Amino acid sequence: MDWFNASLARLIDSPHAAWLETLPAQLRQFTDKPHGDFRKWQRVLKQLPSLSIERDDDVSLGDTVTVGRAQQATDSQRAQLRGLLMQLCPWRKGPFELFGMNIDTEWRSDWKWQRVAPHIDSLQGKQVLDVGCGSGYHLWRMLEAGAADVWGVDPGELFLTQFQAIKKYMPTALAKRAHFFPVGIEQMPQLNSFDTVFSMGVLYHRRSPLEFLQQLKGLLKPGGQLVLETIVVEGDETTVMMPGERYAQMRNVWFLPSAKALAVWMQRLGFTDIEVVDHNTTSLQEQRATDWMRGESLADFLDPNDHKMTIEGYKAPIRAILTART
Ligand SMILES: Nc1ncnc2c1ncn2[C@@H]1O[C@H](C[S@+](CC[C@H]([NH3+])C(=O)[O-])CC(=O)[O-])[C@@H](O)[C@H]1O
């Protein structure tokens, strides 16, 4: 619980103060009854070596989110860091580099950011929320883009621990502006307070995508921007696909609309300025197994004889980015 105190304190004078009515009790519940391996991961976190940077430019929040230079750690400290962080595998979203040690994650999340960044309102001085933030990789990119505070929510306990590991090495001036709460969007009140809300890779995991969009809308302040990224299918305003039990081996995939159908949903819910700004087929270079994620990845989820199809016989994943305002 203590780990959340600084972020909770930051909420008091923020536009999101109403979150304090529900969040502390949810966090208490989380820390009292954590799931699975959470305590083990937290022990790993405590053993991470104390390493510090010397200057601001020892940090880069660019494509590879980097803290520290190789010469600021010994080889044995780097080996210790690697051995401990390996215990937090699978590392899905990144890449990161800590004191000369690269974390080559399953996803090149920097490629997603490159597709998103040209289409978003300036984040300079803004309050930004990332719903389903994973390891928090994009939160650091949002700080790079000038956000005042970035708030990530994701119920994944491993992702929280990975975020804590990276944050541990960030200089205080940056770390105090980056926040992560292990809650799902359905646990958040309608705050109407964020300038920009991102939700990337989450809509297809929601059983009720319209309710999800309505919740995202209720988090934005009037005139705020939603940046939504999700798997879509080819088709017109009337096309929506619901796969069977699995899609590209994922079990919890519900609605896959076409980008045009998704735009209709958003319009019906009262969003304005809706634009489909990007359409992209995920490549085997963008999502792949690495030393840091040794399980199956996209290559195993596609038909080995035809990479345009999934192994279940559906079209391979295409992802769209939509922007809209409240
Ligand atoms: N109810 C929920 N509320 C909030 N988050 C949730 C919920 N359910 C699942 N998640 C979280 O949404 C994230 C989806 S991954 C996208 C990561 C990043 N955004 C990316 O775009 O690279 C996409 C994927 O791997 O399929 C996971 O971290 C879940 O824990």
Number of folded domains that form the chain? 1
Q: Is the CB of 142 under 6 A from ligand 1?
A: no
- List the structure tokens of 24: 């502390």
C-alpha–C-alpha distance, residues 150 and 130, integer Å: 8
Residue 275 CA, ligand 1 centroid: distance in Å: 22
Mean pLDDT of 26-34: 91
Check pLDDT > 70 for residue 108. Answer: yes
CA of 32 to the centre of ligand 1 (A): 23
110 touches ligand 1 (CB under 6 Å) = no
Q: Tokens 């994701």 label which residue?
A: 154
Task: For residue 112, list its beta bridge partners.
Answer: none
Please report the pLDDT score of residue 74 as a whole number.
96
**CB 90 less than 6 A from any atom of ligand 1:** no
Cα(159) to centroid of ligand 1, in Å? 10
- What gap in Å lies between CA 271 and CA 214, rounded to an integer? 9
Indicate if the pLDDT at residue 227 is higher than 90: yes
- Please compute the mean of the pLDDT values over residues 174-184 and round it to a whole number: 97
Q: What is the model's pLDDT at position 54?
A: 82
In the Cβ-directed half-sphere of 107, how many Cα atoms lie within 13 Å?
Answer: 16
**Per-residue confidence (pLDDT) for residue 35, from 0 to 100:** 80
Q: What is the share, in percent, of the chain residues with pLDDT greater than 90?
A: 95
Roughly what angle, to the nearest 10 degrees, separates helices 75-86 and 38-47? Answer: 170
Q: What DSSP line would sit under 81-127, residue for residue?
A: HHHHHHTT----EE-EEETTEEE--SEEHHHHHHHHGGGSPP-TT-E
**CA gap 270, 267 in Å, rounded:** 5
Relative to the CA of 132, which ligand 1 atom is closest? 5
Q: Confidence class of residue 49 from pLDDT cuts 50, 70 and 90?
A: very high
Q: What DSSP designation does 248 have? A: T
Checking phi first, is residue 319 left (phi over 0); if not, alpha (psi -120 to 50) or beta?
beta
| Residues 152, 127: Cα–Cα separation, whole Å | 11
- Structural domain boundaries enclosing 134: 2-325
> Which pLDDT belongs to residue 55?
84
Name the residue with the closest Cα to ligand 1, atom 17.
Answer: 134
The answer, yes or no, to whether any atom of ligand 1 lies below 6 A from the CB of 153, is yes
Antiparallel, parallel or unpaired: β 194-200 and 127-131:
parallel
Segment 196-220 mean pLDDT = 98
Which pLDDT tens digit goes with each residue over 292-303? 999 999 999 999
Q: Which residue stretches of the chain are H helix?
A: 5-12, 23-32, 38-47, 75-86, 109-116, 137-144, 157-169, 172-175, 209-219, 259-268, 298-301
Mean pLDDT of the chain: 96
Inform me whether the pLDDT recorded for 215 exceeds 80: yes
The percent of residues above 70 in pLDDT, for the chain, comes to 100
Q: Which residue has the higher pLDDT, 1 or 120?
A: 120
* Ligand 1 atom closest to 130 (CA): 19
In the predicted model, is pLDDT for residue 57 greater than 90?
no
C-beta neighbour count of 129 within 10 angstroms: 28
Can you tell me the mean pLDDT for 211-216? 98
Q: Is 132 in the pocket of ligand 1 (CB under 6 A)?
A: yes
> CATH number, domain at 321?
3.40.50.150
Nearest to 138 by CA among 89, 168, 183, 105: 105
Q: Is the CB of 155 under 6 A from ligand 1?
A: yes
Bridge partners (DSSP) listed for residue 60: 66
Question: Is residue 1 predicted with pLDDT exceeding 70?
Answer: no
Residue 34, pLDDT score: 83
22: pLDDT confidence band, cut at 50, 70 and 90? Answer: very high
